[in-house]
Amino acid sequence: MTIPQLVTLANPAPGGQVTIINPAQGYAYRLRSIMLTLTSSATVANRFPQIFIDDNNGHDITNVLNGTALQASDSIVLAAFPNAGYSLNFGDFVSYMPLPDIPLAPSWRVLIGALNMQPTDQLSGVTYSFTVE
């Protein structure tokens, strides 16, 4: 295993998701961690933090959805890593999610956001680490 590399991403536009596409420059890689803050707008809706992996050709690989809703005008730090259990209580302001511990092919992409994300919700402080396979 190689030493994990840490990457910090620019914040997406409000309502936007984060997309990771092959940080390993053509090699297969494995995500080791993802951390970000999800801030919900005043729009009344329940948001569910989500990590979605596909092959960038319309085929789903896996989807991890946190089952506890983030409500309007709130904020949560999301931490995902392999073998993490779900933290279903946002009262601590940190939510844990399991990150699929699978090698990712060079063409696959990772989409990070929330189910039912609203146009003025914001993802920020996005960092992730990976190793090259």
The CATH architecture of the domain made up of 5-132 is: Sandwich (2.60)
Q: Could you tell me the pLDDT band of residue 130, with boundaries at 50, 70 and 90? A: very high
- Could you tell me which residues come within 8 angstroms of residue 43 by beta carbon, excluding any fewer than 6 positions away? 72, 118, 119, 120, 121
Residue 92 confidence (pLDDT): 60
The 10s digit of each residue's pLDDT in 7-17 is 999 999 999 99
pTM listed for this prediction: 0.89
Question: What integer pLDDT is reported at residue 32 of this predicted model?
Answer: 95
Residue 1: burial class (beta carbons within 10 Å; 0-12, 13-18, 19+):
exposed
| Structural domain spans, the chain | 5-132
| Average pLDDT of the residues of the chain | 90
SS3 for 59? Answer: coil
Provide the greatest CA pair distance for the chain.
45
Four-residue CA torsion sign, 97, 99, 100, 104: positive
Distance CA 28, CA 112 (A): 19
Tell me the pLDDT band of 3, cut-offs 50, 70 and 90. Answer: confident
Residue 91 pLDDT grade (very low, low, confident, very high; cuts 50, 70, 90): low
